[in-house]
A and B are shown apart, each in its own frame.
Chain A
Amino acid sequence: MTSLPNLPIEGIPSGRTSRETRWQSLLGTDRSDRIYRRILTAFALALPALMLILFGVLFVNALPALKKFGPSFVVTSTWDPVAEVYGAAPMIFGTLASSFLALLIAVPLALSVAIFLSEFAPRWLRQPVAFLVELLAAIPSVVYGTWGVFVLIPFLRAHVVPPLKAVLGWTPFFKGVFYGNSLLAGGIILAIMIVPYIAAVSREVLLAVPTSQREAALAMGATRWEAVRSAVLPYGRAGLIGAIILGLGRALGETMAVTMLIGNRHDIALSLFQPAYTMAAAIANEFSEATTDMYLAALFEVGLILFVLTIVVNAIARILIWRVARGAAIGSKAL
C-alpha cells in the first residue's frame, strides 16, 4: 500500500501530526464550535468543582470539632456523646485493621485470577470467567452484608474459629470469645468484595503488557511461570501495586457490608474475634442519632478524614496505574 506524501498545507489535517495540532487548525473557526466547546468545558468544570464542594462541605461542617479537639481527635479513644468528648482512634484503627486484613486475603486470590485470565487460561475460558469476576463486582454491598450475616458468620463460628483457636489461640490476635460480628467477619467480607476490583484492574494491567515481553522470555527458554515472573509481572509492577492500592481505597470506604458485620463497638481490640468499628460504619450508624451540633461535627470530621484518606490512596493508585497504561480508564467499568 502506498501512502500519499504528507503535505504541510495550512488548515488541512495531516495524518502524521499529533492529535492536538491536527485539530488546532480547525478550532475556533466557527462561532457554534466555540459555543459547543464552552458547553462541554462547563460540564468538565463540574468535576473539579464537585471535588472542592465535597471537601469544603465536610471541612466547614467539621470545623467545630476540628477547633475543639484538634489533633487529639485521631488519638483519643473516648467517644462519649453525653460528655461531648469525641475521639476517632478506634474507628481509624478498625478501618485500617479491617482493610489490611482484607488485603492480606484478597491480594493472592485477586492476582491469581488476573494472572490466570491473562496468561494461563485457555482462550474460550477467558471471557466467561472475566464476566463472572465483573459480576462479582456488581453485587451490591448490602447483599454482601446480608450474605455475611446469615451465611458467613455461622460458617465462621462452626468451621473456622475452632481450628483457628486451637492452633493460634495463644497469640493476641485470636484470643477470647468469638463475637460473630467481629473484625474477622468484617475483614473477610471486605476481602471477598475487593477481590473482583483488584482482579479486574490487574487483568487489564497485565493485558497492557506487550506480548513481545512474554515472547522474549519464552524464546530464552524460560518456563511459563518464569516468563510471568521475570518478564510480565515486573513490567506491570507499578500497575499491579496500583490495583492493590485501589482495592485498599475501596476497602477503606466500604460502608454497608462492614456496618452489618464488624460489630460497631468503639474499642480497640487486637483480637480478630472482637467487635470493632470503621469510620464509614460510624457515620452510617450514628449520623441520624447525632442530636447535638458537636456530635454532628465530630461525625463530619470522621467523614473528612475518610474522604482525604481515600483521595490520597486513590491518587497514589492512579498514578501507579497510569505509569503502565498511560491515561487509560482502566477498571473504571468495574469500579
Chain B
Amino acid sequence: MSRAFGRHLMSRIMTTLIIIFSFTAVLALVLILGNLLIKGASSIDWAFFTKSPVPAGQTGGGVANAIVGTGIVVGLGALIGVPIGVGIGMYLAEYGSGRFGFLVRFIADVLNGTPSIVIGIVAWTFLVKPMGGFSALAGSVALAILMIPMLARTTEEMVRLVPHSLREAALALGYPRWRTSLRIVARTALSGIVTGCLVGIARIAGETAPLLFTALGNLNFSYSITQPMQTLSLQIYVYATGPFDEWHRLAWASALVLMGLVLIISLAARWVTRQRYGSAR
C-alpha cells in the first residue's frame, strides 16, 4: 500500500507546486497593478489632464497633448487597419479552405509575432524618409500594420462561429452569396468582430517601439497628422528614462492613464461579446 501512498503524495506535491507557481505568476500582476495605482494615483491631478508639458526642471504641467495624440494616432491606425484586417478575416472564413487560404492564415499567425520595432523602421523608410519629416500618419500606418494580422485571425474565428444553418437558410431564400456573407454572416458575427477590433486597438494603444521613428513625439499640442505627434507611450518612455524626479512622477501618472485606457478598451471588448453570447457561456 505504500506505493499507492507514494503516488498520492506525489500527486499532492505536484498539485500544490502548480498552485504555488500559478499564485506567483498572478501575484506579479497584482504587484505591478498595485504599484501603478499607488504611485500613479498620487501624481494625478486636474492639470495633468488639461495642460501640456512644462520645460524640464519645472514642476507641474500635464500630458493633455499626449492624451489627444494617442487618440489621433491610434484612431487613425484603427481606421486604416480595421477594414483591411476584417477583410482578410472575411476572406479566410469564406474562401480560406484552399492552399492560398492556408498560406494567408499561416503568414497572419507568423506576422503576429513580428517585432514591432522592425515594423517601425520599415514605416520610417516609406513614410518618413521620402517625406522629409516624422509624422503622426507614419505612426498610424505602423500601428495599422501591427494590428492587421491579429484582426484577420480573430475575425475569421468569429465568423466561423456562425452556424451553417443560417447561411444555408439565406442562400435557400435566394440571397446571393455576397449578401449572405455581409448581411447575414458578418452581421451575426458583428459583436465578435467588434470585440476583436477593440482588443486590437487596446494592443496598439500601448505600443511605443513602432512610434519612436515615426510619430516621434512632440512637446506641444498638435492636431496635424503630417507633423510629429506625442503619444502617452512615447511620453512615458521619455519621462521614465529621464533624470528628473518630476519626470518620474509624470511617468507613473501617464503609465496609470495608459493602463486605464487599455483596461477600459479591453473590458469594453468583453462587454460587447457578453451582450450577445452571455447566456451561451
Contacts and interface: CB of A to CB of B under 8 A. Distances in A.
Nearest to B216: A288
A332 B156 CA distance: 11
Interface in A138-179: 138-147, 149-151
B66 interface: no
A317 B106 CA distance: 11
Of the candidates A143, A192, A224, A229, the one having the most CB atoms from chain B within 10 angstroms of its own CB is A143
A110 B95 CA distance: 36
Interface in B132-162: 145, 148-150, 152-154, 156-157
Nearest to B237: A142
B225 interface: no
A20 to B, nearest CB: 5
A218 to B, nearest CB: 11
B173 interface: no
Contacts of B35: 147, 150-151
B215 interface: no
B49 to A, nearest CB: 18
A33 B178 contact: yes
Given A44-B100, A144-B32, A32 B18 contact: no
Interface string B30-50: 011001100100000000000
Given A48-B107, A280-B117, A143 B259 contact: yes
A117 to B, nearest CB: 8
B54 to A, nearest CB: 20
A332 B115 contact: no
A303 B8 CA distance: 52
Nearest to A307: B118
A50 B88 CA distance: 13
Contacts of A33: 176-178
B113 interface: yes
A225 B8 CA distance: 9
A3 B130 CA distance: 65
B171 interface: yes
B56 interface: no
Interface in A299-323: 299-300, 303, 306-307, 310-311, 313-315, 317-318
A142 B94 CA distance: 38
A317 B111 CA distance: 12
A307 B114 contact: yes
Given A48-B107, A140-B258, A250-B113, A113 B22 contact: yes
A251 B167 CA distance: 42
Interface size bucket, A side?
35 or more
A195 B19 CA distance: 15
B123 to A, nearest CB: 9
Nearest to B108: A47
Contacts of B101: 44
A120 B236 contact: no
B240 A146 contact: yes
Interface string B3-45: 0000110110011011111101110110110011001000000
Interface residues of B, number: 101
Contact of A335 (B113, B212, B213): B113
Given A109-B25, A113-B21, A139-B262, A147 B32 contact: yes
A33 B175 CA distance: 11
Interface stretch (A63-71, A127-135, A208-216, A267-275): A127-135
Nearest to B251: A146
B178 A36 contact: yes
Contacts of A144: 32
A37 B178 CA distance: 8
A19 B100 CA distance: 16
A253 B91 contact: no
Nearest to A223: B11
Contact of A61 (B92, B125, B202, B237): B125
Contacts of B102: 327
A30 interface: yes
Contacts of B272: none
Contacts of A149: 240-241
Contacts of A112: 17-22, 25
A39 B115 CA distance: 29
A58 B150 contact: no
Given A40-B94, A142-B240, A300-B121, A26 B208 contact: no
Given A310-B114, A332-B157, 14 more contacts: A33-B176, A43-B84, A43-B87, A44-B92, A115-B18, A140-B258, A141-B207, A146-B240, A151-B35, A249-B113, A280-B115, A303-B117, A315-B106, A327-B102
29 contacts: A13-B168, A23-B177, A44-B87, A44-B100, A57-B126, A109-B22, A117-B22, A138-B266, A143-B206, A145-B237, A146-B236, A147-B35, A150-B252, A151-B35, A253-B118, A255-B209, A280-B117, A283-B121, A284-B117, A287-B213, A303-B121, A307-B115, A314-B109, A314-B110, A318-B106, A329-B156, A332-B150, A332-B153, A335-B150
Q: Which 6 A-B pairs have the closest CB atoms?
A: A140-B206, A253-B115, A43-B87, A112-B21, A36-B178, A223-B11
